[in-house]
Every structure is written in structure tokens, then in C-alpha cells.
Amino acid sequence: MRVFRTVAEVRSWRRQLAGDLGLVPTMGYLHEGHLSLVRAARAADAHVAVSIFVNPTQFAPGEDLARYPRDEARDLALLEAERVDAVFAPSVAEMYPPGFSTWVEVEGLTARLEGASRPTHFRGVTTVVAKLLDIVQPRRAYFGQKDAQQLAVVRRMVRDLDIDAEIIGLPIVREADGLALSSRNVYLAGDDRRAALVLSRALALARRMSDGGVREAKAIRAEMEALIRAEPRASVDYVSVADPDTLVELETIDRPALVSLAVRIGGTRLIDNTILGAE
Ligand code: AMP
């Protein structure tokens, strides 16, 4: 497995490859969710590259950039075991050299949900993903449904900018008790780990209501919020029942619906989602 630190190294490796290349962009501290993307790439593409980059521009001041968990040696061992061909793990200066001043911004979609709470987040995401797609030139790039809005925003960017890569979205990998895997779960100590189950429980409640014939989105949002309010360690950031592509809130569930939520558990902000009517 090759480990590259510079754009120039990746480009010269890429130029001599024959056959499809799959890219899995990550911020490292890898778990089974990331590895599910790597395995999908390994199954579909002749060559697999993984990027590890904790992208500072998608964190706002006061967010967890400085304490975001990192363990590159462990990540590299996991990726080696998955027979990954190349890892791109650049420095911040390599990706954002002095004088950096160009941004890729998707409008509209990014104002909702995560974007409403984190107004500069998606500009950082789309800028770094556009750079990674241009540097690595993959045939396919793999993203998790865990970050449903990110997936929708990246799909829109690739379409709007005619970026020649196929965006593959893959299902959320969960712990046995329902908690969606996340690098940030490491922040959940003691009672917070148990309290974090309110997210998947609220989603399960939405599914039961929908399966039981409830079509009114407002009723589903209200029941989910009530369930979360019953957990004293939790506070709701948003609960949404929206169109999965436009992210516009639905009144009536008469088509597939993205049910998503962001909840603070103590000092940790967690997100989760499910799609109703598509599984
Ligand atoms: P991150 O390192 O958190 O930026 O995540 C890198 C990629 O892994 C993103 O496309 C995420 O959506 C995906 N991912 C993170 N957690 C999960 C999970 N539990 N299941 C599936 N994909 C995930």
C-alpha cells in the first residue's frame, strides 16, 4: 500500500494506472462504516484509494477540530488489511497553501438541516471533495448515507460541475444496539453512550408510525421530539422529514422521505437518519 503526502505524488501514481479507480474520502479514525465503503470499492474497482484528511474548513470556530480523534498508524493498518492500493493523507498546508482563496459552494440544499446549524460546513466539504476528485480522478467515489445531506450535496456538485465520477451512496453501519457508527462516538463516555440511543430509537419510532399508516410528517416529527425530550442528557438540534433529493420538508409522506435528526448528547453533536418508503 502506497502512502502519499503530496498532490504531485498522487497525480504521478494515478497517471500510470490502467483500469477503474475507486476513492473513499474520510477524515480517518476509521470504523466499520468507513470499511464498508472500502469493501464496496474493492469489489467494484480495479484500484482503491482512500483519503484521510481532517478538513479544517468544514469545522467552524468552536467546533471539535482540535480534539477530533486521530490515529493514522491504526488507520493505515486497517486499510492495508482491506488491500487498499493507496492512501492520500496530505497536510493542511498541502491542501490549503498560503493564499488559498477559491471555494466551491452548492447553494440552496446547503442552507437546510446541517447547513442551518453549521453555516460554513458544506462550503468546506464541497471544496475539499472537489479538490480530492480532481487530484485522484476516480471513476467512482464512495460516501455513506450516514451523512445524507453531504451525499445529496456532493451529488448535486458533481452534476452541476460535470465532474466525471460516479457517486455511490452506501447504507449506514450501526452497532448491535442501533447506534450509528461515527468517529465522534469516542466522545460518548458513560451515560452519554446509553443516552445516544435516542437517535436510533426516534428513527425506529418514525418507521413504526409510517408502517402503521401515519402520513402526516408533522405528527412524526412531534413524536420523535417528544421521545428525545424524555432523555435528560439529550437536546434536539433538528428533526426533519424531507424529500431525500431537495431536502424540502414534507407535509405528507406520499413518496420516499428522509427522516433525519441532529441531537446533542452532553457536549457531543450526533446525526442519524433513515429513508422511509425505500427499504
Ligand atoms: P468521515 O470520516 O466521518 O468524514 O466519514 C467518511 C465517510 O464515511 C463519509 O462518506 C461518511 O458518510 C461515511 N460514514 C461514516 N460513518 C458511517 C456509517 N456508520 N455507515 C456508513 N458510512 C459511514
Domains annotated on the chain, with CATH: 2-170 (3.40.50.620), 185-276 (3.30.1300.10)
Task: Tell me the whole-structure pTM to 2 decimals.
Answer: 0.98
From 52, 143, 185, the mutation candidate for ligand 1 (largest count of ligand atoms within 8 A of CB) is 143
Distance CA 274, CA 145 (A): 8
- Nearest-CA residue for ligand 1 atom 11 is 144
The pLDDT tens digits along the chain (279 residues) read 999 999 999 999 999 999 999 999 999 999 999 999 999 999 999 999 999 999 999 999 999 999 999 999 999 999 999 999 999 999 999 999 999 999 999 999 999 999 999 999 999 999 999 999 999 999 999 999 999 999 999 999 999 999 999 999 999 999 999 999 999 999 999 999 999 999 999 999 999 999 999 999 999 999 999 999 999 999 999 999 999 999 999 999 999 999 999 999 999 999 999 999 875
Q: Ligand 1 mean position to 143 CA, how many Å?
A: 7
Ligand 1 site, residue 23, Cβ cutoff 6 A? no
Distance CA 41, CA 201 (A): 31
From 23, 30, 35, 37, the mutation candidate for ligand 1 (largest count of ligand atoms within 8 A of CB) is 37
pLDDT of residue 39: 99
Instruction: Report which of 140, 141, 5, 29 is spatially closest to residue 86, judged by C-alpha positions.
Output: 5
- Give the burial class of 278: count Cβ atoms within 10 A of its Cβ; 0-12 exposed, 13-18 middle, 19 or more buried: exposed
Q: Ligand 1 mean position to 77 CA, how many Å?
A: 18
Strand arrangement, sheet containing 268-276:
234-242, 257-265, 268-276
pLDDT of residue 241: 98
Contact between residue 170 and residue 53 where contact means Cβ atoms under 8 Å apart = no
pLDDT of residue 266: 93
Q: Ligand 1 mean position to 213 CA, how many Å?
A: 31
Name the DSSP letter for residue 70: -
The pair phi, psi for residue 148, each rounded to 5°, is -60, -40
pLDDT of residue 279: 52
Distance CA 222, CA 245 (A): 23
Q: Ligand 1 mean position to 166 CA, how many Å?
A: 17
Q: What are the cell numbers at 273?
A: 437518519
Contact between residue 184 and residue 192 where contact means Cβ atoms under 8 Å apart = no
pLDDT of residue 14: 98
Q: Helix count (H) and strand count (E) of the chain?
A: 10, 9
Instruction: Report which of 62, 57, 121, 123 is spatially closest to residue 95, judged by C-alpha positions.
Output: 57
- Nearest-CA residue for ligand 1 atom 17 is 33
- Give the burial class of 206: count Cβ atoms within 10 A of its Cβ; 0-12 exposed, 13-18 middle, 19 or more buried: buried
Q: What are the cell numbers at 239?
A: 428533526
